[in-house]
Amino acid sequence: MRINSLVDAGELEKEVAILSSEESHHLARVLRVQPGQDITLFDGQGGVAEGLIETVSKSAVDVRISKHWNVPKPVIEIDLIQAVPKPDRWELVLQKAVELGATTIRPVLTKHTEFKPNPKKQERWNKIVLNAAQQCEVRWLPDLQPLEEFEAILPILGNYDLVLVGSLFEGTRPFRDLPMTGKSKVAILIGPEGDFTEEEVRAAVDAGAVPVSFGDRILRTETAAIFGLSVLAYELL
């Protein structure tokens, strides 16, 4: 079994890295690791190390590092800006966004968003992102931004080489007609159940976004996010 564990910054530079109490508890109680097992450590900022588990207790797991290196930061940025759907769908989106190479995830509130803001949810969302990164060996953790209003993201859309907004309204373009060559910073906006309002789509277009369609079928919001990120990953990564 391949084990990947997040460590605090600086631990990879030591001969023996000490894992956090939370991560140690997971390894000891859930995965039931034993001394002598191989393990890979990463700090979420490109640092990676291999080592052997040296000691195991309820509150601390120590790892003797054999080698460490740095993975370059991704040169292509793919950001997901998503109206938060129902909890189970949003958690799926978070997992798949990490797997598909999203570098930043921005949850937003729109007119049709049913989610009610809850600060306690952010901690759970961060944990979902971390777990997904551990499972698929992502070495640079995506930047999960705090929940914000849709209007707050409009001023930043001009910072991208290309911004796409999924929409059911007329006037959209299919993905295949969009030039992707030379784009290094791209964002995709996905609406909630019920789609963006026409006013929201117009505001995004006025801010520089290009409205796109996902084909003839109407996709659920989580499917649209996965579809859009998959296309961008195929075209750019």
What is the rounded radius of gyration, in angstroms, for the C-alpha atoms of the chain?
Answer: 20
Check residue 116 and give its pLDDT.
Answer: 79
Q: Using CB atoms within 10 A of its CB, is residue 187 exposed (0-12), middle (13-18) or buried (19+)?
A: buried
* CA–CA distances in Å: residue 184 to residues 50, 106, 153, 179, 237: 31, 18, 19, 12, 10
- Residues (pLDDT < 50) of the chain are none
Check residue 33 and give its pLDDT.
Answer: 93
Check residue 124 and give its pLDDT.
Answer: 93
Check residue 170 and give its pLDDT.
Answer: 64
* CA–CA distances in Å: residue 19 to residues 4, 39, 114, 126, 130: 12, 12, 38, 18, 15
Question: Which domains does the chain possess?
Answer: 4-70 (2.40.240.20), 77-236 (3.40.1280.10)
Check residue 232 and give its pLDDT.
Answer: 93
How far apart CA 87 and CA 225 sit, in angstroms, is 15
Question: CA dihedral in degrees (82, 187, 100, 126; nearest 10)?
Answer: -50
Encoding tokens for residue 98?
């990490």
Residue among 143, 132, 139 nearest 99 (CA): 132
Helices (H), 78-156: 87-99, 120-136, 150-153
Check residue 213 and give its pLDDT.
Answer: 87
pTM of the entire structure? Answer: 0.92
Check residue 173 and give its pLDDT.
Answer: 84
Check residue 115 and give its pLDDT.
Answer: 81
Check residue 180 and give its pLDDT.
Answer: 82
